Amino acid sequence: MKNKWNEWWNKFLQWPIIVNIVIWSQNHSLPGFHDVSIYTTLTFIRNELNKNDLNTRASAMSYSFFLALFPSLIFLFTLTAYFPKSWDFYTAMENSIISVMPDRAQDYIWKDIVSTIRPKAKSGLLSIGFILALVFASNGMLTMMKGFDKTYKSSFRKRSWTQKQLIAILLTFLLGILLIFSVLILILGGQIFKWIFGILHLSKLTVIAVKFFQYLIIILLFYSVIELMYRLAPALKKPFSFFSPGTIFATIGSIITSVLFGYFVDHFSTYHKVYGAISALIITLIWIRLNVLILILGFELNAGIIINRDIRQLALIQDEED
């Protein structure tokens, strides 16, 4: 079967239009690619995915993130009880987290988990939630860092065990702060819009403006979270730029994948008929795995650009020395 597939693939590559596309990609680059050709970048990604086994990396990262999900939710939603009720921090956080999740995954997280936790919010649960979230989330970050490890000495450096642990904890803290900060912006921004449009007597536009602002913040949150992961998790000698092709790809890909998967689950899937009550759990796992796959592909895109750029620069330096 594998030989048959290779035969079909080789025939496909010999089509005139495919040959022309390959030739074009070998001689063209894209903005943010640092003059590395499209063909070189895509070839690097294919080789790396084959060498490092995409499925194994995605499975390990998905499992770690799934374990980190529940203690993190316990901590975050226990924390909402300590904010002023007028801020409606709980609703704002709910909207920011579930906006791109499939409906059944939303029901599972909010009805089965959060609604059980919230009435019992107290300092003891907050402390336990914080410790569990820190342990499981930092372990998730460590797994991600291992998934981003490369052996290219031109672009990557080695980290000690202590450095890895500290960076994983730092990344966990920064992501938590970023999420809380984004929710606060959602709350304050919505109130500011209502106040401004109230003064201007444009109440009809208030709902549209607030909704647009919410989606904008959620997209920026997605981008910032992914950018922070790509900046701190890999042991790069020189970090990716803030606006990198891989981060843009991963942000757009995660949002589109989540929306399409949510639509598929809500309209076509039969998970709830086959698996019953645990269907929401399965859907949540699949949703996490899909986003992890996109996250890995975005990282490999950035890595392909950076590594090939650095190899080319080293070759130029050696040529000048010779």
pLDDT given for residue 247 in this prediction: 92
pLDDT given for residue 102 in this prediction: 67
pLDDT given for residue 249 in this prediction: 93
Distance CA 57, CA 157 (A): 20
Rounded average pLDDT over 22-40? 86
- Would residue 69 be called left, alpha or beta, if left means φ above 0 and alpha means ψ between -120 and 50 degrees? alpha
Phi/psi for 236 (5° steps) reads -80, 145
Of the ranges 19-33, 91-105, 141-155, 174-188, which one carries the lowest mean pLDDT score? 91-105
The pLDDT mean for the chain works out to 77
Whether the predicted pLDDT of 100 surpasses 70: no
Check residues 79 and 162 and name the one with the higher pLDDT. Answer: 162
> Of 189, 187, 247, 185, which is closest to residue 222 (Cα–Cα)?
247
Residue pLDDT, tens place only, 252-309: 998 888 878 777 776 656 666 666 667 777 777 888 888 889 989 999 999 888 888 8
Whether the predicted pLDDT of 61 surpasses 70: yes
Rounded average pLDDT over 110-136? 67
Contact at 8 Å (CB) between 145 and 168?
Answer: yes
> Of 191, 219, 194, which is closest to residue 91 (Cα–Cα)?
191
Rounded average pLDDT over 204-228? 78
Give the rounded distance of the alpha carbon of 288 from its chain centre: 9
Q: Go through 44-61 and write b for each residue having 16 or more CB atoms within 10 A of its CB, e for each that does not.
A: bbeebeeeeebeebbebb
236 forms beta bridges with 156
Residue matched to tokens 């949510």? 262
Distance CA 211, CA 206 (A): 8
pLDDT band with cut points at 50, 70 and 90 for residue 53: confident
pLDDT band with cut points at 50, 70 and 90 for residue 93: low
Check residues 312 and 188 and name the one with the higher pLDDT. Answer: 312
Confidence (pTM): 0.82
Residue pLDDT, tens place only, 150-192: 878 778 888 888 888 888 888 888 887 777 777 677 666 666 6
